[in-house]
Chain A
Amino acid sequence: MNENLFASFITPMMFGLPLITLIVLFPSLLFPTSSRLVNNRLISLQQWMLQLVSKQMMSIPNTKGQTWALMLMSLILFIGSTNLLGLLPHSFTPTTQLSMNLGMAIPLWAGAVITGFRNKTKASLAHFLPQGTPTPLIPMLVIIETISLFIQPVALAVRLTANITAGHLLIHLIGGATLALMSINTTTALITFIILILLTVLEFAVAMIQAYVFTLLVSLYLHDNT
Chain B
Amino acid sequence: MNVPLKEKKLLEVKLGELPSWILMRDFTPSGIAGAFQRGYYRYYNKYVNVKKGSIAGLSMVLAAYVFLNYCRSYKELSESLLDCFASGGVSPDRVGLVHRLI
Interface residues of A (CB under 8 A from B): 3-4, 7-8, 12, 14, 19, 26, 29-30, 32, 40-42, 85, 88-92, 171-172, 175-176, 179-180, 182-183
Q: A90-B70, A176-B97, A180-B97 are in contact. Are A30 and B58 (CB under 8 A)?
A: yes
Instruction: Kindly state the separation between the CA atoms of A38 and B68 in the bound complex, as whole angstroms.
Output: 33
Interchain nearest-CB distance for B19 vs A (Å)? 26
Asked if B66 contacts A89 (CB within 8 A), the reply is yes
Question: Closest approach, in angstroms, between the C-beta of A23 and any C-beta of chain B?
Answer: 8
The answer to whether B42 has its CB under 8 Å from any CB of chain A is no
B58 to chain A, nearest CB (A): 7
Cβ contact of B97, chosen from A8, A19, A89, A179, cutoff 8 A? A179
- State whether A172 and B102 are in contact (beta carbons under 8 Å apart), knowing that A26-B65, A89-B70, A182-B93 are contacts in the complex: yes
Shortest C-beta distance, B40 to chain A (Å), equals 8
Asked if A92 and B76 make an inter-chain contact with CB atoms under 8 angstroms apart, the answer reads no
A12 and B74 alpha carbons, distance in the complex (Å): 12
Known A42-B58, A171-B102; contact A12-B72, beta-carbon cutoff 8 A: yes
Asked if A4 and B58 make an inter-chain contact with CB atoms under 8 angstroms apart, the answer reads no
Residues of B within 8 A of A (CB): 40, 44, 48-53, 57-58, 61-62, 65-66, 69-70, 72-73, 76, 80, 91, 93, 96-98, 100-102
Q: Which residue of A lies closest to B74 (CB)?
A: A90
Distance from A217 Cβ to chain B, minimum over Cβ atoms (Å)? 30
Interface centre among B40, B52, B76 (most CB of A within 10 A): B76
For residue B102, which residues in chain A have a CB less than 8 angstroms away from its CB? 89, 171-172, 175-176
Q: What does DSSP make chain B's interface, helix, strand, loop or mixed?
A: helix
A29 to B43, CA, bound (A): 12
Pairs across A and B, CB under 8 Å, 15 listed: A7-B73, A12-B72, A32-B44, A40-B49, A89-B66, A89-B101, A90-B69, A91-B66, A172-B102, A175-B100, A176-B97, A179-B96, A179-B100, A180-B93, A182-B93
CA distance A8 to B100 in the complex (A): 13
* B residues near A29, Cβ cutoff 8 Å: 40, 61
Contacts of B61 in A (CB 8 A): 29-30
Report the separation of the CA atoms of residues A67 and B29 in the bound assembly, to the nearest whole angstrom: 37
Residues of B within 8 A of A19 (CB): 72
